[in-house]
A and B are shown apart, each in its own frame.
Chain A
Amino acid sequence: MNTETTGTTGTTGRAGRRDLAIDAEDVHKRFGRVEALRGARLQVPRGSVFALVGTNGAGKTTLFSILCGFLRADRGTLAVLGGPPGPARLKGRLLALPQDAVLSREMTLREHLQFLGRLQGLAAQRARSESERVMELLGLADLGDRRAGTLSHGQNKRVGVAQAFLGDPELILLDEPTAGLDPRNAHELRQAIVAERGKRTVVISSHNLQELEAICDEVAFIERGVTIDGGRLADLTSQDREVTVILGQGQVPLPLLAKELPEAEVTFEEARRALRVRFAAQPGRDPDVAITQLLRLLIEAGALISEVQKGKSLEQRYLESTAAR
């Protein structure tokens, strides 16, 4: 084991000089003959809701576990909230939903939450009130006196999430938080996460790209132990630079668009009747104005508009990134 740790938050590659909650570079981890991480990189700005996306076995959980201090990296530099991971520095500041961790069967949900609250440094009274608050937040208020061993998988998952919201952590890592939850609970959890935006940093790993797209500010794609792409969601999906218009039957006014939008790259995919317009990057330009201008031109030219999509979906972007590997 040769993990270097840095105490700096700061200048890091593509992220530039930013205030980072997590700054991991070139992280390696091997389990026997399996190389789970092969130089993973992660820069998470403070206060953001950040998504970590990857296939099963891509290394997301391993990276989370290293950030939490459960696993030790074989190599790499790592700073969590400005220093090395571990409870000595991060007690009560970093909380997480560990994947597949099981609560002690015999103790009640309320007892667990109060115990964990006390352990992260809350006074007894505060631990009690926080337990009630997070149970309410995750819809568990009626289950407080139930033993953990009698809870369903989904209920246990919510308890796992609830304990990660105890107190006032600066950073929360949630590994597959909505896996196994019913749609209503998943929705409520997403709302709870969105409500934390700006107050604390939340990092979520999930396969559900629609869900991540709805709640996250930034994304990193990880594949086979390597971070292959990442950045602001709006940049990755080109939301402020690209628009796709699905047209109905009829003529497509491509010459008009080329003349009126000389700075834009216009392509038309006949099969889907998808008109894709990619605007050149211009600092300060309002993308909505450009989109409105495009739609006005199309309407004036008599084109039938069936659907308008701003940028690419996260799923499209992810597929593009992974296909390029």
Chain B
Amino acid sequence: MKSTLLADLWLIGWFDVRESLRSRRALTLVGLYLLVATLSAYLFVSAVKALESQLAAATGEAGEAAAQMALGLARSEGYRKLLSMFTLGDVQKAGYLAELPPMGLFMVLAMLTLIPWMVALTASDQVAGDLHLRTVRFVALRASRAAFVLGKLLAQVLLIGAVTVGAFVPAIFFGQKDLQSFDASATLLFLLATAPALLAYAFAFLGLTSLASQLVGTPGRARALTLGLFALLWLAGLPEPSTRTIVGTLAYLSPWQLKMGFLAPEASGRNLALALALGYGAVFTGLGYLTFRRRDL
């Protein structure tokens, strides 16, 4: 039975991936995501390049020397202060972030910001779309509802995973092409090491879209419910999570509160964020399934 579930969800997931790759809407959204990632990389490169040029002009140093100075500035006290503001005064975390490849850090932060909304836009109809057109009925005779839901989720995970890793390419390309101070291998290694965390973070939000998509019967309603849930949980995730206040307690419901956890100085902190993200995804999907397993198709 277990092997049937796994085999079925793989068949359903892979069929959905292939279909998505041919769908204009999905391709447009993937293209949009890559475009934003490319623009982010380009903006970062432009800013650092401008800094390199200014340093070269001001000091009379050129080429490698200016690049080294720029790299030094990137590790400077000012940069640490900037990161310290970003980490709400957490000096230890700011110090850790300052040691990371700046381009890699910038791209990861950009993706952590972008991923939830891309997920909301691309994946909200993962189940509701098939319910609306009753396509699900061809599958429901042959595979369990659990296999259907998980297969659809798997397809989204694969697509988001591919797009996320794909977004690393422009970062490496522009850095290598335009920056003297760019350490391509360190940046690539950092990005690849962070990819599972990004995917886990995406999974948390995919679980939320799965929940919304299993509760309603049309793509429009699924999208509206998804955006509503996202907005609510985004607001809930704004305060620092804490058990001392109601608002702080509510923040625990939000996967958004995990964002900085992926950049924690300790590996245990990062692993915890990853595990929690997977947990959020699983719980949200499971909550939706409680309804979906008994609902009319």
A residues whose Cβ falls under 8 Å from a Cβ of B: 1, 65, 68-72, 86-88, 90-92, 94-96, 98, 100-107, 111, 115-116, 118-121, 147, 163
Contact = CB atoms under 8 A, between A and B. Distances in A.
Question: How big is chain B's contact interface, by range?
Answer: 20 to 34
Contact of A118 (B11, B18, B137): B11
A119 B8 contact: yes
Contact of B135 (A71, A72, A102): A102
Contacts of B15: 104, 107, 111, 115
Instruction: Provide the main secondary structure of the chain A interface.
Output: loop
Contact of B140 (A72, A87, A147): A87
Interface of B: 1, 4, 8, 11-12, 15, 18-19, 22-23, 133-135, 137-144, 294, 296-297
A71 B137 CA distance: 10
A94 B141 contact: yes
Contacts of B18: 107, 111
A26 to B, nearest CB: 19
A87 B135 contact: no
Nearest to A70: B297
A90 B141 CA distance: 8
10 smallest beta-carbon distances between A and B, as pairs: A98-B137, A101-B134, A106-B22, A119-B142, A102-B133, A120-B142, A70-B297, A101-B137, A71-B296, A106-B19
A102 B143 contact: no
B294 A101 contact: no
Nearest to B12: A119
Nearest to B145: A87
Contacts of A96: 137, 141
A119 to B, nearest CB: 4
A89 to B, nearest CB: 11
Contact of A107 (B22, B140, B142, B296): B22
Contacts of B134: 98, 100-102
Contacts of B138: 98, 101, 103, 116, 163
Contact of A88 (B133, B139, B144): B144
Contact of A104 (B4, B135, B142): B135
